[in-house]
Amino acid sequence: MFGYKCQECGRGVVQATSLRDYEAKFEGSSLAIPEAIVGVCDACGAQHFSAAERKRWRRLFEENRESKVSTHVILPQSVHRKLQHLKRTRKRTQSDIVAELIRQV
C-alpha cells in the first residue's frame, strides 16, 4: 500500500504510520479516528491516504452520525405507561422496547 516515492517532494519514501485520534473531515464535520493508518513521507512529512483507509473512515463517520440521530414520538398516555412498566420490569431502555414493539408490528 505504501513504500512508494513521495509525490510531493520526489525525494522521500512514503511509510505507513499509525496515528492516534487523527482528525478527519467529512461534509464539513470533523471526526477523531481512534487509529488511522496514514502514509507519511520520511523526507518532507507530507501525508498520503489510501482509498481503503478513507472508506473505513467514511464508515466510522456514518456510524457516528447515525448514532446521534434521535427521534421523538408522541405516545398516548396508556402506551407510555405500558412502556414505563416494561422498562422497569425488563431493565432495558425505552428506545430498545420501542424498537422491539415496532419489529413485532
Please check whether residue 103 lies inside any domain of the structure.
yes
Distance CA 45, CA 12 (A): 9
Is pTM beyond 0.75? Reply is: no
Distance CA 50, CA 54 (A): 6
Residues 39 and 79 in one domain: no
pLDDT one-digit tens code per residue, 46-75: 999 999 999 999 998 888 876 665 666 677
Distances (CA, A) of 55 to 7, 11, 101: 21, 28, 34
3-state secondary structure of 47: strand
Residues 78 and 98 in one domain: yes
Residues 59 and 88 in one domain: no
Proportion of the chain above pLDDT 90, given as a percent = 43
The pLDDT, as a whole number, for residue 8 is 92
- What is the domain range of residue 40? 14-67
Q: How many domains does the chain have?
A: 2
The pLDDT, as a whole number, for residue 69 is 57
Please check whether residue 19 lies inside any domain of the structure.
yes
Distance CA 8, CA 41 (A): 9
Instruction: Tally Cβ neighbours within 10 Å of residue 17.
Output: 15
Residues 60 and 80 in one domain: no
